[in-house]
């Protein structure tokens, strides 16, 4: 889904939060749309609250949050940081859907962007799923 308005971003994020978003709509782009919307309001609150939102959403669509699937702390926190990085580089007042378009057109828009910074064994470890793990290949660019 290509978001064409900030209203669409807000609507999708609110539906994820209230657990009415269809599972197939929770795409890589929708994850970043939600991250941007939450980060725009309050980065620290997004870091605290998004984990619980994602866990609850996963369960609402029949998923589980375990050591091998579902919520992933390192991916979530890295994505929130990437969202903030792209937002900080945008001109003041840039609409979120335009920031999202720029984000998706760049390296972060690739679903495997994290593998530039983490090796698969580290990123997909139980430790990285449960808590923040620093990149082992190279530092994040922000």
CA-CA distance, 142 to 59, in Å (whole number)? 32
Q: What is the DSSP letter of 36?
A: H
pLDDT of amino acid 132: 98
Q: Which pLDDT tens digit goes with each residue over 29-61?
A: 999 999 999 999 999 999 999 999 999 999 999
Q: Which pLDDT tens digit goes with each residue over 63-77?
A: 999 999 999 999 999
Residue (of 57, 73, 54) closest to 114 by Cα position: 73
What is the model's pTM?
0.95
Percentage of the chain beyond pLDDT 90 is 99
Task: Domain ranges for the chain, please list them.
Answer: 6-130
CA distances from 121 to 33, 75, 77, 124, 138 (A): 27, 14, 18, 5, 15
Which residues, in sequence order, are CB contacts of 17 under 8 Å at separation 6+? 53, 57
């Amino acid at each position: 889904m290509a978001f064409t308005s900030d209203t669409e971003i807000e609507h999708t994020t609110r539906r994820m939060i209230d657990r009415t978003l269809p599972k197939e709509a929770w795409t890589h782009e929708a994850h970043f749309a939600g991250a941007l919307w939450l980060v725009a309001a309050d980065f620290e609150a997004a870091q605290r609250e998004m984990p619980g939102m994602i866990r609850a959403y996963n369960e609402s669509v029949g998923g589980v949050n375990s050591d091998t699937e579902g919520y992933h702390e390192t991916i979530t926190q890295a994505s929130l940081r990437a969202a903030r990085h792209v937002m900080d580089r945008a001109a003041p007042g840039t609409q979120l859907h335009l920031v999202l378009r720029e984000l998706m057109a760049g390296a972060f828009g690739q679903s495997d962007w994290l593998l530039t910074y983490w090796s698969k064994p580290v990123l997909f470890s139980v430790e990285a799923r449960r808590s923040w793990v620093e990149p082992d290949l190279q530092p994040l660019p922000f």
